[in-house]
Chain A
Amino acid sequence: MIRFILADIRRFRAGALAVVVLIALSVALCTVVTLQERAVRLGSARAAEKFDLVVGAAGSETQLTLSAVFLQPAPLPLMPGAVLAKLAADPRVAFAAPVGFGDSASGFPVVGTTTTLIASLSPQLAEGRAFARLGEAVLGAEVPMPGGAEIKPMHGTAETGGHTHTELAYTVTGRMAPTGTAWDRAILVPIRAVWQLHGMEGDHDEHDEHDHGDHAFEADESEAHHEHGHVDPAAPIDERFDADMPGLPAVLVKPKTIADAYRLRQEYRGETTLAVFPGEVLTRLYATLGDMRSLLLAIAVGTQAIVVAAILLVTIMHVGARRRQIGALRALGIPKRSIVVIVWGELFLLFAAGAALGISGGYAAARLISALLTARTAVRLPVEFSAADLPLALGIGLAAALVSLVPALVALRSSPAEALRA
């Protein structure tokens, strides 16, 4: 039976190949859309899960989340430094880590923070130690610089016309373990170094901090405002924060309990500050993304339907051309069920081959896209099938099985004598 089917497919190999390729392409399209959407959703959810609560200045929730979770370079408004001191002292808070964005080095974001965040992101450093002095830095796992390297931070990024801070070069002291988040591409430095570098702290009181309160070290800062402070690279870091700290764009907060998280979010949603659950903001983003997926998937399924219709047409024509062959099989007394199995099996084999190729091709494509995205953002995007795909796959399989049955039944409608005359 299978020999006969294969011999037949070999005879019509060009057509069979075309059918397989058509099916493979449309199935691959469906697979990529499904897998990629899931990869982005899972990947960013995992990237966000380290940060339960992000507190920033009043503004865009989405921007705050994207900046804190994906380190997307964008000017964020600053909030008063007192917020950090208050959060750090709050008994409901496990830890509160400031983050200061704005600088970069060799295209990698330089983020000012504290050792607490390093300990949270990478409890065990992959190499070296955390920073202990103002002039030291810890690398994310994917920053391609050796330990001990010197990093000259650039204000803003090279593309936005930033300039290099010549006053300070950080020395790399350690490297974090991979986290699968955007922080793998970050260079972490002491927050106070960032403040001082931008003339926001330094010689306490002598400096008018309020002047910088609203537009300090962000990329959009104009040169005229630029006032660089002196930084002593050898000075030990001080991670105690009091009320008269300079402004900062965001604080990452780890509340002690879920109830605390909700209470804190409630409290810090006000006139001047904004508190968000990154996971929740992302979920809202995905709702939009999910609509996109539905649309894409609908297009993909539509494509599939057209392909199936085309294949059906081809098959019916094919069976028309094969009526004599089928007539001959019947003339030889071959049972109808065998003929149905042959015609059905041949088509279904093509469907199955196309589907298998399409699924593996789609999987490979999704892996490739994820790898490319990961290379750019360091956010790991897991490409994986889930149980939710099973009904869809089974549905497509069942449809294919039924559709393949049509030509077989058409083939048996006429008597063998009629078929032989065709």
Chain B
Amino acid sequence: MLSLSIRDLEMRFPGLETPALAIGNFALPAGGRLAVTGASGSGKSTLVNAITGLERVKSGAIRWDETDIAGLPSGRRDAFRARHIGLVMQDFHLFPGLSAFENVVLPVRLARRLARPEAERAAMLLDTIGIRRPQQAIETLSRGEMQRVAVARALLSRPGVLVADEPTANLDRRTGDEVADLIIRLAAEEKATLIVVTHDPQVMERLDRRIRLSGGRIDEDSAGTPQT
């Protein structure tokens, strides 16, 4: 489990006057469960990109426990993400031509040899999320199943934090609920800090804390006064 602490973070894009994201001080304790909301363009994705190291941060500090990923070069950020952050994306980003099992173990396989305990854990996770035929080609699964496979993939390396970026936006109501359930349940079981970007009020309600972004700033924090 990782704690998150953000200080003086500012993200700017070329050609834009105002920063896309500006967070003066924000902290999420280890094991916290955070919902991030906001209108589109409010900086949600930029926040996800910053805290997962997908985008380079030029000013400010983002600490996961003691590691400031803002100070890491891109290769080290990639490695940190692989090791500590489980990422579930809106568009699943599974790889056709491979089976469900192969998709789950792909990040490990492409980085190093797949060890037997990891293979066993992948099989266990697939079983947990309700995929009965792990060898089935991924493109033949339903969308709900695909996102569940993506959740299993995110959890394979026992990440300290699970970041889900609009995980249910491309799913219908019922499937979306199932996937949200699964994410919340597994994050707890796997003892991972959880950050979910979502529009879904039902999902928000089930998380301990909620922040709302607007114009790149936190304008509402269920835990207290937003510090900007």
Contact = CB atoms under 8 A, between A and B. Distances in A.
A330 interface: yes
Contacts of B87: 331-332
A335 B97 contact: no
Interface string B98-139: 100010001101110000000000000000000000000000
A418 B14 CA distance: 13
Contact of A331 (B75, B93, B95): B93
Contacts of A167: none
B78 interface: yes
Contacts of A331: 52, 54, 81, 87, 89, 93
Contacts of A299: none
B89 A1 contact: no
Interface stretch (A5-13, A86-94, A138-146): A5-13
Contacts of B80: 333
A325 B95 CA distance: 8
Interface residues of A, number: 27
A174 to B, nearest CB: 68
B74 interface: yes
A418 B52 CA distance: 14
B136 to A, nearest CB: 14
B107 A332 contact: yes
A415 B58 CA distance: 13
B49 interface: yes
Contacts of B82: 332-335
A335 B106 contact: no
Given A7-B97, A332-B107, A415 B56 contact: yes
B153 interface: yes
B49 A417 contact: yes
A333 B55 contact: no
Interface string A364-394: 0000000000000000000000000000000
A334 B111 contact: yes
Given A331-B87, A333-B78, A415-B55, A3 B110 contact: no
A335 B109 CA distance: 11
A124 interface: no
B83 interface: yes
- Interface residue SS majority, chain B: helix
B79 A335 contact: yes
B107 A333 contact: yes
Interface string A322-351: 001100111111111011001000000000
Contacts of B109: 1, 4
Given A11-B96, A328-B89, A333-B107, A415 B54 contact: yes
Given A335-B75, A415-B55, A4 B93 contact: no
A274 B87 CA distance: 88
Interface in B61-79: 74-75, 78-79
B21 interface: no
B81 A417 contact: no
Contacts of A417: 45, 49, 54-55
B9 interface: no
Nearest to A341: B110
B169 to A, nearest CB: 15
B76 to A, nearest CB: 11
Given A4-B106, A417-B49, A420-B54, A335 B78 contact: yes
14 contacts: A11-B97, A330-B54, A331-B52, A332-B87, A332-B93, A332-B107, A332-B153, A333-B83, A333-B85, A334-B78, A334-B110, A336-B75, A338-B110, A338-B111
Given A328-B93, A333-B107, A416-B78, 11 more contacts: A331-B89, A332-B87, A332-B107, A332-B153, A334-B78, A339-B110, A342-B110, A415-B74, A417-B45, A420-B54, A420-B89
Enumerate the 6 nearest inter-chain pairs by beta-carbon distance, A residue then B residue, closest first: A333-B82, A7-B97, A328-B93, A417-B54, A333-B81, A417-B49
